């Protein structure tokens, strides 16, 4: 994140506002054939002072944001992330949310759903936005070559960057072109704008937002995956057995913080960091009870903060199969 982004994030104390600010400021993980996230200019928040003022107003009156996110604070992080986007597109100065989680049916079969439909206030044509937030750990050894996206897997080992990329591109982003989706969109547009505008047979414009963090192995060298953005957020992962070796290479003044879902987005404020002995004791208790990987943050000199995943010594217990090669296009 550029220095201006860090400065803007530091203005936010409310955890939900911080996560919303993080969402606006961070880059996507990978580039895709379709355009990426709505830009700050599209949202009407390109100017740093205007964005700071908008976030400050939310800090002063966070009630609407709190109410919108209330049902997601103990659920899936993906749902929390989607709700943040819903709020952002509906409340940003230059956009309007038209619909979300729009299910597309073919008879009695559900083909899928469109995450978000929005438009600019100066252009009512709808835009389909798919969103996914992902935290992938890179494997020094695994499927494919060093830069293969299949080498980057979730902390639970259930999915990979390669499989997620293929599902988004081959299915989710193309769902709006299905005849069944076009029919739903035509009805929706007629209801939203009874006079003057219809879908008119124009292709539905698609965008993808896929923020998150790529965690590189602490004990080995691994290049970035194919199509990774140059400025993607980075962290490291390490085995539980290597924890104290990591600490031995850090100054005694380093402090740490435990990152709890769904607040894996914005890093904690300085007051949330505790002495390392306290963090180490928490890790001991955690791994005595469960083998689930843990995301933490370490704050070093100069307020430099780094993300880490600490995983069990036998991680990963499963590795997803790479997706089947596509017959055409990429």
pLDDT at 328 over 70: no
The residue ranges of DSSP E strands in 27-176, in sequence order, are 95-106, 109-120, 123-131, 134-138, 152-153
For position 195, what pLDDT does the model report? 45
Average pLDDT over residues 299-323: 91
**For the segment 200-229, what is each residue's pLDDT rounded down to a tens digit?**
455 678 999 999 999 999 999 999 999 999
For position 78, what pLDDT does the model report? 93
User: ∠46-231-6 over CA atoms, to 5°?
Assistant: 55
pLDDT at 131 over 90: yes
What distance in Å separates the CA atoms of residue 46 and residue 222, rounded to the nearest whole number? 35
Residue 196 pLDDT grade (very low, low, confident, very high; cuts 50, 70, 90): very low
Tokens 């903060």 — which residue? Answer: 305
The helices-and-strands tally (H runs, E runs) of the chain is 10, 12
**For the segment 221-258, what is each residue's pLDDT rounded down to a tens digit?**
999 999 999 999 999 999 999 999 999 988 888 999 99
Secondary structure of residue 111 in the 3-state scheme: strand
Residue 38 pLDDT grade (very low, low, confident, very high; cuts 50, 70, 90): very high
**For the segment 90-122, what is each residue's pLDDT rounded down to a tens digit?**
999 999 999 999 988 887 888 889 999 999 999
For position 229, what pLDDT does the model report? 97
**For the segment 24-33, what is each residue's pLDDT rounded down to a tens digit?**
999 999 999 8
Among 5-14, 87-96, 196-205, 259-268, name the most confident range: 87-96
For position 6, what pLDDT does the model report? 77
The whole-angstrom distance between residue 202's C-alpha and the CA centroid of its chain comes to 29
The chain-wide mean pLDDT, for the chain, equals 90
What distance in Å separates the CA atoms of residue 146 and residue 82, rounded to the nearest whole number? 32
pLDDT at 176 over 60: yes
């Amino acid at each position: 994140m550029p220095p201006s982004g860090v400065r803007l994030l530091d203005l936010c104390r409310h955890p939900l506002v911080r996560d919303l600010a993080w969402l606006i400021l961070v880059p996507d993980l990978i580039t895709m054939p379709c355009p990426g996230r709505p830009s700050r200019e599209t949202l009407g928040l390109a100017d740093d002072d205007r964005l700071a003022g908008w976030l400050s107003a939310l800090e002063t009156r966070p009630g609407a944001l709190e109410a919108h996110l209330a049902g997601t604070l103990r659920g899936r992080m993906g749902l929390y992330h989607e709700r943040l986007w819903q709020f952002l597109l509906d409340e940003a100065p230059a956009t309007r949310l038209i619909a979300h989680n729009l299910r597309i049916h073919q008879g009695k079969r559900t083909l899928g759903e469109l995450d978000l439909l929005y438009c600019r206030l100066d252009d009512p044509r709808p835009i389909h936005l798919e969103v996914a937030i992902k935290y992938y750990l890179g494997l020094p050894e695994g499927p494919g070559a060093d830069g293969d996206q299949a080498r980057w897997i979730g902390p639970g080992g259930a999915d990979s960057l390669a499989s997620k990329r293929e599902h988004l591109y081959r299915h989710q982003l193309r769902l709006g072109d299905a005849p069944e989706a076009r029919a739903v969109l035509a009805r929706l547009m007629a209801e939203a704008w009874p006079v003057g505008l219809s879908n008119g047979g124009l292709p539905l414009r698609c965008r993808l937002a896929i923020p998150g963090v790529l965690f590189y192995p602490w004990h080995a060298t691994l290049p970035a995956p194919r199509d990774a953005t140059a400025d993607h957020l980075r962290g490291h992962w390490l085995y539980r057995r290597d924890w104290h070796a990591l600490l031995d290479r850090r100054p005694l003044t380093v402090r740490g913080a435990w990152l709890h879902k769904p607040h894996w987005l914005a890093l904690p404020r300085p007051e949330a960091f505790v002495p390392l002995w306290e963090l180490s004791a928490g890790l001991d208790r955690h791994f005595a009870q469960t083998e689930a990987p843990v995301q933490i943050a370490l704050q070093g000199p100069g307020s430099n903060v780094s993300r880490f995943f600490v995983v069990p010594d036998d991680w990963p217990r499963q590795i997803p199969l790479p997706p089947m090669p596509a017959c055409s296009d990429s």
